[in-house]
Amino acid sequence: MTSLTLVRRIRARPSIVFDALTTPEGIARWWGPDDGPVLLAETDPRVGGCYRVRFRMLDGSEHESSGEYLEVVRPERLAMSWRWAGGEEDPGESLVEIELRAIAEGTELTFTHSRLHNEETRRSHEEGWNGALDKLERHFLASSNEGRHDQA
């Protein structure tokens, strides 16, 4: 619940996936929440290097995010800080981590976006989440829906 994790199995070798993640040509082809264009992509994939990506959504709004590469291990692992320019969408800094694992069909990509980036978060990831928390989440969802209903 303190982080978002997504897993994709991709029919391509890890080095190809890694380059798609870290090169401006690659990023221009996939970055963003809809099919709107990437307007600018700058990367410097080495520890301490920065990236900056600006994209336009189909509704015409433009957004820019940037950050610093914290870990770069081609073709296995990538960690970077994340911040929105202007901060309207989400002020503050968060952490993006990507693991690439070679599998028979190509690559298993595990993507994590978390709010906190400190030792506690890492520990929390390692411990994982238990079923009780899924139930808790349902509980909160149910009560917040009730809240909305009351306001309507």
The footprint of other proteins (CB under 8 A) covers 1-4, 6, 8, 10-13, 16-17, 19-21, 26, 29-34, 87, 89-92, 106-107, 109, 111, 113, 115-116, 120-121, 123-124, 127, 129-130, 132-133, 135-137, 139-141, 143-144, 147
Closest approach of other proteins to the CB of residue 93, in Å: 10
**Nearer to other proteins (CB atom), residue 19 or residue 76:** 19
Closest approach of other proteins to the CB of residue 31, in Å: 6
Residues in the chain: 152
Closest approach of other proteins to the CB of residue 81, in Å: 14
Closest approach of other proteins to the CB of residue 5, in Å: 10
**Nearer to other proteins (CB atom), residue 48 or residue 86:** 86
**Nearer to other proteins (CB atom), residue 72 or residue 109:** 109
**Nearer to other proteins (CB atom), residue 101 or residue 135:** 135
Q: Which two tokens stand for residue 37?
A: 């264009």
**Nearer to other proteins (CB atom), residue 2 or residue 42:** 2
CA 124 to chain centre: 17
Query: What is the b/e burial string over 50-81, where b = at least 16 CB atoms within 10 angstroms of the residue's CB?
Result: ebebbbeeeeeeebebbbbbbebeebeebbbb
Closest approach of other proteins to the CB of residue 2, in Å: 5
Cα distance between residue 125 and residue 128, in whole Å: 5
Residue 134's SS3 state is: helix
Cβ–Cβ under 8 Å, residues 23 and 30: no
Q: What angle do CA 31, 37, 39 make, to 5 degrees?
A: 90
